[in-house]
Chains A and B, each alone.
Chain A
């Protein structure tokens, strides 16, 4: 099988620290590969290597059939880059940003204007088209950034955390755009800290942590691997004590969610009874308890040993 994006054993060191310590990636044409991981996991470094911005210290990457180190010029003709580290010119209007990129890609003046107008419509930026990009809201800016990366109709699109910091509605807008791109035949590599996003968009997910692949598979496979069900409890008081008991009985690290919700994979039904008994002995009363199917968030915890929110605390 020929892959649109293929990487073997990518290593990149910055000083003593290895941002990537040997990462393999592969995305068949027309699919979305979700690269999931916490801040500092190495996601951005991987994207920068694939987009020809930095060279790997070790390993090899082929994008659209071209080696990113040996033939970067060929790779650049095929790719679009958007997200954290690609940016728009804030002093130009949205339309001017798009026209500039079109002209740089060799379009005629009229061709570049036409493409810009089409993208402004597609990305719902018509009303703001002639305002400086610096005045755009976060969501508009990301949409423009994405539009700019699509001016040349790239067959391979890299999106580095395209929705980080966006509100749910702006995020949903971007998801729709990603799906449209894929429907149009493009291959998308998307990095994200949001499991929900990878779950929604990706055909396959690669979970990176500390520069290494911690797990890979379809969203369903990863969820299955985290255990079938979850035991959830919400103690009324003594949350720390409850967490300790939960950890002791199950032998797993509980995930502490919002509003004091504690949860662990439930591998054996009898475990829940043991948990309740121990809690009762310890005098911890529960406001809520439930058994339910895992989310990808918990899969992440189970597979890496850290929570997605833990790193930002």
Chain B
């Protein structure tokens, strides 16, 4: 061994995690297509759901006020797909093995993933909000209250991204991860009060919508952005976020530990 390894100046898990977060975000700059998709999707959803579907109702302005926070919620939650898909992709491609053969902190790849996704989620919320405002949606709540609405959405999304991480670590392929995530997210987001008030639904769907945690989240975000009474929704949402986090962080960490063993 005549050469000296370069690994003497060891950095901590956090610094390694930040390098890996950089690694997850930098492709957006490399590939214009990805960036466009990432910006376009929220804009598209706002236009289709809030404006086009709103126009189908008798009172488009009223409908847009109801729909816009729902679209924001849906678009943000769907973005959690990325977490699991990227993890599954790294495992399938062997990038994960490369990291495991290096002197890295065990938690670094997971930290990097979650940090990058938190940043992406924040950006998604910002894009969707700007698109909504451009389309005529007005945040009528006091700024702090509106900010609390965004924070609540972010918090719940982070909780859900642990579910996504768990699926990604368990999945055999990227496609199967995507399939599972979609199967979970579609009924949760569309079968909620995000788009249609439960009162307007047939009874079976009304039942599902009323027990669906996303209904509480959508109602809470809507009330916080519009400055209307929030009712119990914020607390129910916080409880759900806590429960999901308490369940899926250990599950994801265990699945991860098994993968990196």
State the A residues within 8 Å of B (CB). 4, 29-30, 48, 51-53, 55, 64, 73, 76-79, 81, 84-93, 96, 100-108, 115, 132, 148-149, 151-156, 184-186
Contact = CB atoms under 8 A, between A and B. Distances in A.
A184 B4 CA distance: 12
B101 A52 contact: yes
Contact of A105 (B20, B97, B103): B103
Contact of B100 (A52, A88, A90): A52
B19 A103 contact: yes
Q: Which one of B22, B94, B97, B103 has the highest number of Cβ atoms from chain A below 10 Å of its Cβ?
A: B103
Contacts of A84: 94
By Cβ-Cβ distance, the 3 closest A-B pairs, closest first, are A185-B2, A87-B94, A91-B27
Nearest to B109: A104
**Residue among A91, A103, A184 with max Cβ neighbours from chain B (10 Å):** A91
Contact of B16 (A55, A76, A87, A104): A104
B22 to A, nearest CB: 7
Given A53-B101, A76-B103, A105-B103, A185 B26 contact: no
A152 B5 contact: yes
Nearest to B86: A91
Given A100-B22, A104-B16, A87 B95 contact: yes
Interface string B6-20: 111111000010011
Contacts of A30: 2
B1 A148 contact: no
B23 A105 contact: no
Contact of B102 (A4, A76, A85): A76
Contacts, number: 110
A55 B6 CA distance: 26
A87 to B, nearest CB: 4
B3 A96 contact: no
Interface residues of B, number: 33
Nearest to B2: A185
Nearest to A55: B261
Nearest to B17: A104
A90 B101 contact: no
A100 B116 CA distance: 15
Contacts of A78: 1, 5
Contacts of B27: 91-92, 132
B97 A53 contact: yes
Given A93-B30, A104-B20, A185 B3 contact: yes
B189 to A, nearest CB: 27
B59 interface: no
23 contacts: A30-B2, A51-B101, A53-B100, A55-B261, A64-B1, A84-B94, A86-B97, A86-B98, A88-B95, A89-B23, A91-B31, A101-B102, A104-B19, A104-B104, A107-B6, A148-B98, A152-B6, A152-B102, A153-B3, A153-B6, A155-B1, A155-B5, A185-B1
